[in-house]
Structure 1
Amino acid sequence: MEKRVIMSKLPTLTTDRLVLRAFTLDDAPRVQALAGRMEIARTTLTIPHPYEDGMAEEWISTHAQDFENQQVLNLAICLRDGLLIGAIGLMPELEHRRAEIGYWVGMEYWGHGYCTEAAQAVMQYGFKELGLERIYGFHFSNNPASGRVMEKLGMEKEGVMRRHIQKWGQRCDVVCYGILRDEYYARAGARLKSDAEIQKACGRSRAGNRERDCGRDCFPSDRRTAGCPWHCRSGAGRLPSQGHPSAYL
């Protein structure tokens, strides 16, 4: 029998430019300012607009219990100087060793590769620390930029769920991407080999020349109502009293 994987300690993850850490209530005003933009609400599942006072505090206050219940890992995306720019997380089903990934960053930070960089760190955590076999994500079909982020992560387009989501009075198609454990490690090995060859030839790494992404959001599926990394509750389930932002679509 396989040993059951448990998320026992909330991680802090670091990358070249980012720190991914737990949210605190002090982050609420910043979350409201970033997630309150119409453009963020438009590309996510349940982030409300207008984004009212108290919503961010309510969302953040659910994180500890959601993590303890093994439902959601929510992390703030911060620059190395501490400035919060977005959110990312995993919504796992550990009994099946799979998890859904979701993320969003504020409009001012689109186009700098932050979503890709943050998601790479979270995927590594999921496969290495949690022993996941599969990570997947979704986006609205009219938000192809989110799909390009997933493609940069090595995720494969797996299909389209037609008219799967009701968003602002319209039925929307949803695109699914996924990556398996062996695919992730094969890609990681190839990337390390490529980086080593480039370093040898050029005397420097590719770290300063990362691909840029639009930084837009992907969203969590509607399979349950646990608080999502990106800020939210799923569209098909029961929303909290103030309807939290869901991210990524």
Structure 2
Amino acid sequence: MLPFLETERLLLRAYELKDARQAQVLAGDKDLAETTFLPHPYTLETAGNWISSHPKLIENREAFPFAVILKGEDQLIGTMTLRVDDLHNKGELAYWIGKDYWNNGYATEASKIVIDFGFKKQNLNRIWAPVMTKNKASGKVMQKVGLKYEGTLKQDILRWDEYEDVDVFGLLKEDYLETESSV
């Protein structure tokens, strides 16, 4: 079962099928898809199938996909997912925030609590995140939450008939705990 995670302004919880419509609307924005790994167009069927896959992913500890909800408004604004690689005891942080909610610090706020969940509740040794190089805002979020730039994978993905570079950011548990204890 996916726990509830709470920040000052956000509630992170399991997705429910009733979230599919809003997820489709937010994730279906072409500007969002342009700098993320989301498929485009993002249909209601895609959203529903993705949400329906969550219980098995969570049960098998393969991924923890959180719906990012604006507190007090019960409004879905995005997704924060931690994909677990048990073999190497690491997690991949992946997220998107709907365009109408950009530049409010929500990605930073939600990332921090999911990173804490990954290290403290899932006992991961490393959390990393791939970010399209052209997505400067996500690169800044990664740095704000303590992930360090580790390198660029040149022409790593083919997106809309163009090869895109991907920056890799990462954080070790020992560095996270050290930084946390010095605050």
Q: TM-score by structure 1 length?
A: 0.71
Gaps of 5+ in 2: none
Q: Distance in 1 between matches of 2:121 and 2:92?
A: 16
Cα RMSD for the two superposed structures: 1.0
Give 2:50's aligned residue. Answer: 59
Give 1:80's aligned residue. Answer: 71
Q: Deviations over 1:1-23 (max 9, x none)?
A: xxxxxxxx311100111000000
The one-letter amino acid of 1:69's match is: N
Cα deviation, residue 165, structure 1: 0.5
Q: Distance in 1 between matches of 2:182 and 2:120?
A: 17
SS in 2 for 1:137: strand
The one-letter amino acid of 1:24's match is: E
Rg larger in structure: 1
Give 1:164's aligned residue. Answer: 156
Give 1:23's aligned residue. Answer: 15
For residues 35-184 of structure 1, the aligned pairs below 5 Å read: 35-49=27-41, 51-81=42-72, 82-184=74-176
Determine which structure has the larger helix proportion and give its number: 2
Cα deviation, residue 189, structure 1: 1.9
Q: Deviations over 1:189-215 (max 9, x none)?
A: 222xxxxxxxxxxxxxxxxxxxxxxxx
SS in 2 for 1:172: strand
The one-letter amino acid of 1:53's match is: L
Q: Distance in 2 between matches of 1:47 and 1:118?
A: 22
Q: Distance in 1 between matches of 2:44 and 2:58?
A: 24
Determine which structure has the larger strand proportion and give its number: 2
The one-letter amino acid of 1:109's match is: Y
* 8 Å CA contact retained: 2:151, 2:167: yes
The one-letter amino acid of 2:35's match is: T
Aligned length: 182
Q: Distance in 1 between matches of 2:8 and 2:62?
A: 28
Q: TM-score by structure 2 length?
A: 0.96
* 8 Å CA contact retained: 1:99, 1:136: yes
* 8 Å CA contact retained: 1:40, 1:47: no
Q: Distance in 2 between matches of 1:66 and 1:129?
A: 17
| Percent pairwise identity | 38
* 8 Å CA contact retained: 2:65, 2:80: yes
